[in-house]
Every structure is written in structure tokens, then in C-alpha cells.
Structure 1
Amino acid sequence: MTMECATDPTRTPPQERDGARPIFLVGMMGVGKTTIGRQLAAALGREFIDLDHAIEARCGVRIATIFDIEGEAGFRRRETATLDEYTRRPGLVLATGGGAVLSGENRRMLDERGCVVYLRAGVDELYRRVARDRNRPLLRTADPRQRIADLLAQREPLYESVADVTLDTGDQPVAQVLRALLPLLDAQAAGQTHTTS
């Protein structure tokens, strides 16, 4: 079974200042990609898009429902198509889903089309943030903490492979994360590669 999701071919991207290189946030569920991304976009005067929210808006249902109807493979196909569209937009701050890096095609798009920021946190911190979230289909398991540990072990090398900038978020307030991130982005834009904090 597949779902029909609306597309909006008439929508044109907003005019961005100077066609700036987009910024893509990658990392595990619960690391803060949406919260940090929204604040980063505001600080830079850019448009912010959460990829999972964009998929939900098109399909009219939650990600968990897409998983229920089409399975993870069906969701991943939708994710790749939506990522392809949004990674072409200049000046965007885009928060990807935690599993977006699983596809080699997705990693290529992220790597070639923008500056990739890997937001990193440990298993305990991630579990603390998402333990009560019922909208995480991959955590519908008897031991969600172990599932997070397994997913992190699988995905961390992929996040690192595409990252231009890596930043540990820990339990810091968003304002503090931004204060650390902005100079790293400036350094990366100035030609220094793969900065870490």
C-alpha cells in the first residue's frame, strides 16, 4: 500500500540574500536539530525547514503513520525526494531526519550542495530527550535506550563522513550552542574544513 502526498509545484523559494550556501543539520533524533536550526536561521536571517515536517505537510499525516502504511523503505523514498528538492535551495537552514544519512544518494546531496553540521550528543542525553516521545516509530521497542545506542553506532560514521562542522550539544542551552556554532560556521566558510567543538 502507498500513500498519495500532495506536492506544490507552484511554490517558489523565497528570494535569499546573495545565494548563500545552504546549511544542513544532521544528527540523531533528539539532538536538537529543529530547535537549534530554527534559532540559527533566525540569527542568520535565513529560511528554516525541518525535512520531516515538510514530508508530513505534504502527506497530511505524521511520520509514524507513513511508517505504518509504507514501512521504513517507503518513508525513506519520500525523504530522498524531498531532500533532493530542499538541498537545491540557496540560503536555507535545513534540519534533516536522523536517518537521512543512511542513503548514499542523500549523503552525496548533502556533501555536494551545502555546509553540513553534525550535531552530536551521547546516548544518555538522547534517551533523556526522546524517551517520552510517542511519535518516534524507530523507538517502538522494549528497550528504546538500547535502540538509540544501536542507531548511534550505525549512523555516527555516516554523520562524520558528511560533516563539515561537528558540534557537541550535550545539555547546553540553545543560546550557548549557537554561540559555539556561529564561529565554527564562519571558519568553515573561510576555508577551514571539518571544524569540531
Structure 2
Amino acid sequence: MTAEIDDVRAAALRERLGTRSIVLIGMMGAGKSSVGKRLARRLAMRFADADTEIEEAAGMSIPEIFAHHGEPAFRDGEKRVIARLLENGPMVLATGGGAFTSAQTREAIAASGISVWLKADLDLLLRRVRRRDDRPLLRTDDPAATLARLIDERYPIYADAAITVTSRDVPQEVMVDEVIDALDRHLGGGETGADA
């Protein structure tokens, strides 16, 4: 796709989005931050990572928040940060894996954004999350079993997202193309593309 055509398509998508944000949801390791940064660049939109914003607001890392204050305090802060970010849209917003499980956050996203679930299978998520040791929920004796349980709990909730795109091991730009195609279809642009 030429840059000129890409710019025209990006401008048309931004116009149809209006003041709404594109909100990426999904499990840890699904690619929300890496796809989100590239998507924001392609659409000439701001990018925000909710986890990074939470760490800046708290003055500590997410593992430290979990260790010192517990998951409920983290989830409460997460709701407030996401609500604040959505009030300052439009943007591409990558959320933490548990954010969409909050009914309050789902309502805020539905009111101010379009939710895009990056759906990944267990094997892919395990390969990706093993590269980092900063996942507080996976600091268990059996991270694979914990991740499988989280998938069982969260996927039925994630299914409420406006758009679902399958995350897999392909170049990130391919994932961005598929998200853009799915957004285009969702917003009535009529573009055809990869199956979302």
C-alpha cells in the first residue's frame, strides 16, 4: 500500500472515529502495546499504555503495586487511569489484561471508544510471557495453569469487544493491517482485507 493511499485511509478512519479512542484489550502477551504503538503511528494518533500511565501515577512498577498494595488497589487505580485517558481521546489505548473484566471500565470504553480484542491462544501467550518476569499474576508454581485459568475466566468477557482480531506470530505490521481492516469494516468503510 502506498504511503499516499495509506494516509488517505488513515484520515478517513480518524474522521469516522470522531472523538472515540481505539482501545486494545486482551491477555498479557497478546501484543497490545507493540501493535498499539504501530497502529497509532499509522493512523497519526496519540498512543497511551494504561500500565505505563498507572506506574507513572503510582510512582512504582506494577509488580511493586501488587506487592505493596495488592491487586484490588491496582484494579481500582487502573479503572481511574483508563477513565481519565478515555476522557482525553481520541487515541490508541493499550490496556492491561484485567482491565476489561471491570464492568465500569467496559462501560467507559463503550461510551468513549471502540474495543479491539487481540485474541491469542495459550501456546502463543506462554511463549511471549516467558520472555519477561514482571507479570505479577504469573508468579505462581505453575504459570501455564494460571494463564489457562485466566483465559477461561476472561475470554467470555473479552468476547463482548466490538472487534476481535486473532493475534499470532506474524510481523507486527501484518497485525496492524488486520486491525485497520477490521476497524474499517466496523466503521462502515467497506474495505475488505484479512479475516478478523
Q: What is the TM-score with the length of structure 2 in the denominator? A: 0.86
Map of 1:66 onto structure 2: 65
**2:134 counterpart SS class:** coil
Map of 2:172 onto structure 1: 174
**2:117 counterpart SS class:** strand
Q: Report the alpha carbon displacement of residue 154 of structure 1 after superposing the two structures with TM.
A: 0.3
Map of 2:182 onto structure 1: 184
Is the Cα contact below 8 Å between 2:23 and 2:115 reproduced in 1? yes
**1:142 counterpart SS class:** coil
Q: Report the alpha carbon displacement of residue 191 of structure 1 after superposing the two structures with TM.
A: 7.8
Map of 2:3 onto structure 1: none
Hey, what's the Cα distance between the residues in 1 that align with 2:178 and 2:83?
A: 29
Hey, what's the Cα distance between the residues in 2 that align with 1:60 and 1:135?
A: 16
Runs of 4+ in 1 over 6 A off after TM superposition: none
Is the Cα contact below 8 Å between 2:28 and 2:125 reproduced in 1? yes
Is 1:119 matched up with 2:118? yes
Paired positions, count: 178
Hey, what's the Cα distance between the residues in 2 that align with 1:143 and 1:97?
A: 21
Q: Report the alpha carbon displacement of residue 20 of structure 1 after superposing the two structures with TM.
A: 3.6
- Over 3 Å counting, the alpha-carbon distance change for 1:55 and 1:140 in structure 2 is same
Aligned residue type for 1:183? D
Map of 2:43 onto structure 1: 44
Hey, what's the Cα distance between the residues in 2 that align with 1:58 and 1:80?
A: 13
Map of 1:103 onto structure 2: 102
RMSD: 1.7
Gaps of 5+ in 1: 1-16
Identify, as 1 or 2, the structure richer in helix.
Answer: 2
Aligned residue type for 1:80? K
Is the Cα contact below 8 Å between 2:21 and 2:89 reproduced in 1? yes
Gaps of 5+ in 2: 1-13
Q: What is the TM-score with the length of structure 1 in the denominator? A: 0.86
